[in-house]
Chain A
Amino acid sequence: MNEDSYITKKGAIAIAIILIALIIFSLIFYRTRRTGNYAVIFHYGKVTGSYPLGLNREIRIKDKKGRLTNIVCIKNGYVYMKEANCPDKICIHQGKKSKVSETITCLPNRVVVEVKGREMGSFDTMTH
């Protein structure tokens, strides 16, 4: 080890190149590949359920009077709004979602469907 140098020029350049490459890689990686594992349905701001995307099913959402307002459909790893009684049908046109933190929103019925990754628990909160 040289007297007063704690990093070599080569080392600094190598770290810089790796860092830039990694940042570019992760940007591409996270924009293209992070698919979620389950869909969480919020109704009037409250979580009413979370459903794995791997299981094909339909979730019927009813309002307070018990009328059917929306049908959320999970099929082949995608979640989409199949039916809604709202006038504009924006939620249906939002299409199929599968990536983490993508959402489908039906504003008139206050339904939000959000795709989430698997919950990991808190890891290493206290010690190093």
Chain B
Amino acid sequence: MKRSSHIASLGVFLSLAMIAGYIETLIPINFGIPGMKLGLANMVTVILMYLFSPSEAFLILVIRILLSGFLFGNGMSFLYSLSGGILSFIVMYLFFRTGKARMISLSVIGAISHNAGQLICACIFVSNMDILFYMPILAVSGIITGLITGSLSAAVHRRLKKGRFSDKEDR
């Protein structure tokens, strides 16, 4: 009973992550800097990490990237998402493990490392180190978008904790 409802909630979060990733493409915040975006889908990863567990957050992250890659993306965008997503998860997880991580700081760190992961992937594919020139501006944009999505995640998490997902009773 509890187990199945838990799986169902994971499914809801997965669809939420996918639709967040899609909505993001509708928001034109491109300031001529390739790879710059809001990172709404990362909110779900961050929330899940605190609400459930890092392993479930990772599961949802990978499935989300795979599904959106097959549904909307092409080969390249899939690889960029995957490299950014995996690197940001690893960094966020290590930070989370210290036990001192707060949600907004975690989100900022995740956003920066996501941008870094994508840029490293791009460097490998075009075999051109010059595009690392974009890193400082991507780091700045990562901090700003990470603050925005982190605050949003905190607001969502606060409400979720009060409601159905309070404590561990649902697991």
List residues of chain A with CB under 8 Å of any chain B CB.
Answer: 1, 4-8, 11-12, 14-15, 18-19, 22-23, 25-26, 29-30, 33-34, 37, 117-118, 120-128
Contacts and interface: CB of A to CB of B under 8 A. Distances in A.
Contact of A8 (B34, B80, B102, B118): B102
B126 A121 contact: yes
Interface of B: 20-21, 24-25, 34-35, 37, 39-42, 50, 64-65, 68-69, 72-74, 76-78, 80-81, 84-85, 100, 102-105, 108, 118, 122, 126, 128, 130-131, 133, 136-137, 139-140, 143-144, 147, 150-151, 154, 157-158
Nearest to A125: B77
By CB atoms of chain B within 10 A, which of A4, A11, A18, A117 has the most? A11
Among all A-B residue pairs, the 4 with the closest Cβ atoms: A6-B154, A26-B136, A7-B104, A128-B41
A122 B128 CA distance: 15
| B interface majority secondary structure | helix
B35 A123 contact: yes
15 contacts: A6-B151, A7-B104, A7-B150, A8-B100, A14-B105, A19-B144, A118-B130, A120-B34, A123-B34, A123-B80, A124-B84, A128-B24, A128-B39, A128-B65, A128-B84
B137 A125 contact: no
B21 A26 contact: no
A1 B106 CA distance: 13
A127 B130 CA distance: 24
Nearest to A33: B133
A128 B37 contact: yes
Contact of A118 (B40, B104, B128): B128
Contact of A126 (B68, B102, B136, B140): B68
Contacts of A124: 34-35, 37, 77, 80-81, 84, 118
Given A124-B84, A125-B25, A118 B126 contact: yes
